[in-house]
Chains A and B, each alone.
Chain A
């Protein structure tokens, strides 16, 4: 079965510091990978996606992620944290195949706190 693991339910950084949120997946077929952000009392906003092609993908708000097949990872990074980045982040995966139509499998989420 496909699964997603986000290492660290809480990550705390100082403003201006590097943000690194970890995501690992398990899959027997090539995955499609996504990162979403959720602010309090809101829905999920897509940050970036990997489907095929370049393994380093850039998203909105200065975030990027690198797909590493050998490590089954898709970690999210941002060089310099901003106070407005404080939110909960979700890694998600989908797979080609009939049983996966319209289904994203999410990690448990990582709450990012940014200190002044």
Chain B
């Protein structure tokens, strides 16, 4: 099976802009989770979607949002970008429940 894919791999934006990141899970996986990775804060959970429903959300401001489509592909959106949003954004898919998660290569977002 193909692994988790994320597009784009690299992105440069300026403050105030918005950005959309995309994640395609492993075929058959219905759960997609998103994480933000920074040197200072480490890996932090953003949210999880399962069958198009957000089931869990981390402690991030409302500028961070997501959605999941009927084919399980997921998008994450960040509006009104701030310098502190510069990070590696990782998506992971799983079969659901408490199974292991499989990660994509990430999208490196730089906010100038």
Which residues of A approach B to under 8 Å, CB–CB? 32, 34, 36, 41-46, 49, 51, 90, 94-96, 98-109
Contacts and interface: CB of A to CB of B under 8 A. Distances in A.
A101 B42 contact: no
A79 B75 CA distance: 41
Majority SS of interface residues in chain A? mixed
Contacts, number: 64
Contacts of B43: 90, 104, 106, 109
B42 A102 contact: no
Chain B contact-residue range equals 20 to 34
Interface in B24-43: 31-33, 35, 42-43
A96 B35 CA distance: 19
Contacts of A109: 42-43
Given A90-B43, A100-B56, A102-B33, A43 B98 contact: no
